[in-house]
Every structure is written in structure tokens, then in C-alpha cells.
Chains A and B, each alone.
Chain A
Amino acid sequence: MIVPLEHILILAGLLFFIGLGGLLAWRANLIMMLVCIEVMLNAVMLVFVGGSARWGNPDGQLFAIFIMALTSAEVSLALAMVVYLHRRRKTVDTDAFSGMKG
């Protein structure tokens, strides 16, 4: 453990809330919303790895790896959906997809 766990938590919290602010600010653009979600998940991974290094337990690293696998599945599905929506409306503006007509 090279730095206190609190500093790692501060870094992870900063990254998480930067991603949250970006998610709120970019709420008109689907692609940038997904990018901001990536930032937030990366901050969560940092918390897991920091805890793993603090207590010498490999479970934190394993959960970071699980998060990475889940994120790759989520991103591939979300981007396929973005491509599908773009094919229907020719835009990635979230306001264009407010109707529920099938």
C-alpha cells in the first residue's frame, strides 16, 4: 500500500462525480452519455482495486475484472442499440426518441 486508502477513495470519488456531471450535462447525446458511464464504472473499479490492495485480498481485483466483463457486454449492446436508433431517426439526440409508438 503506497498511499492511504483515503486518497484512492478521493480520486475515485472525483472521477465518479466528474462522470456524473458529464452524464447530466451531455443528456442530449447518447454516445457521450455512454462515455460518461464508462468513466463512472472505471472509478468503481478503482475503489475495488484499492480495497484489494489495502486488505491484501484478491477478491477486489476479481470483482474489478467482473465489472470489466459486464461493461464490455453493456457497451456492445448499448452501441448496437444506438446504431439501431440512428437507423430509424438519423440522429442520436435523446429527445428524438421520446415517443413510444411501435
Chain B
Amino acid sequence: MEQAIFYILAATAVIATILAITEKHPVHAILYLVTSLFSMAVIFYLLMAPLVAAFEVILYAGAIMVLFLFVIMMLDLGHPEKGLSPGWREWLPALLLSGASIASLAVIVVSRSAAVAAHPAGLSIREVALRLFREHGLAVELISLQLLFALVGALYLGRSKS
């Protein structure tokens, strides 16, 4: 049952991502990407990571994508007819390069046996949080500093000339 849900969600994520990057209208592309992120969040939940799944929905789909939408609407970029979308001349090398990479990945992975591993004990949120704050406290502090720097940088770049 869970395997079937995983493969359905994987197909949804891949198709939504392909639609997102081939869509000419930026707002539609963002909405397709939100669909892909939702299915990725359920995949994270299936992989015993409910915390990451919740953050994926709240941060990625809720904050970052809405930030993209705000910028697109603020700069009035929702006009695909202005000619910034790629033609076949741009798609051809991209398809060739990513196709070669995907083919090599498939060759490497298919040559190995794919067996379901033994089921390790589930990871509780308590365990994850203890590991985060006991062993990675410095990383938490560094990331908070980095978010502060990003805030100051965004304020500096966005100030009006007066």
C-alpha cells in the first residue's frame, strides 16, 4: 500500500516539475511547483520524517513560493509574450545534457540490486529534536546568524534612494 502511494507521489512530483519548467507563464510555473512540493512533503512523511514534511509545506510551499509570487506580481512579470521564455535553441542543449546525466544515473543504479532494507526503528520527533539541539547547537546558531544577515542584506538592497 505505502509502496503504491510512494510511486504515485513520485510520478506526480516528476510530472509537476516537468510542467513547471516547461510552462511559459511564471505564475503557472510556481503553482505547478507547489503541487510538486506537496507530493514531496507526503514522500517525506512516508520516509519517517514528519518534521521535514511539515517544514516543507510551511516554509517551501507557504513562504518561499509565495515570496516568488509576490516578486512576480510586484515586478509585473506575468507576460510570457515579452519573449524571455526559451525556444528550441535553448531547450536542445539542456535536453541533451540533462538526458545524458539521467541516462548515466539510470545505468549506474540499474546495475545494482535494489532490495528493501531491514526496517530500522522509526525516528520520533523527540529524538530528532534532541540530536538537533544537543549535537548541532553551533549549526543552529550559525543558521540564525545567517538568516539575520540575509534580512539585513535584503533591507539594504531594497531600500529606496532618498
Contact = CB atoms under 8 A, between A and B. Distances in A.
B85 A29 contact: yes
Interface string B1-41: 01100110010011001101100001001100100110010
A2 B118 CA distance: 10
Contacts, number: 227
Interface of B: 2-3, 6-7, 10, 13-14, 17-18, 20-21, 26, 29-30, 33, 36-37, 40, 43-44, 46-49, 51-52, 55-56, 59-60, 63-64, 67-68, 71-72, 74-75, 77, 84-86, 90-91, 93-95, 97-99, 101-102, 105-106, 109, 112, 114-121, 123, 127-128, 131-132, 136, 139, 143, 146-147, 149-151, 153-154, 157-158
A86 to B, nearest CB: 5
A83 B14 CA distance: 30
A52 B85 contact: no
Contact of A64 (B52, B74, B106): B52
A15 B55 CA distance: 19
- Does more than half of chain B's interface fall in helix, strand or loop, or is it mixed? helix
A27 B90 contact: yes
19 contacts: A3-B3, A4-B114, A10-B106, A11-B43, A13-B105, A15-B13, A17-B98, A25-B86, A25-B90, A35-B29, A38-B64, A49-B47, A52-B49, A58-B128, A71-B60, A75-B64, A77-B154, A80-B158, A93-B84
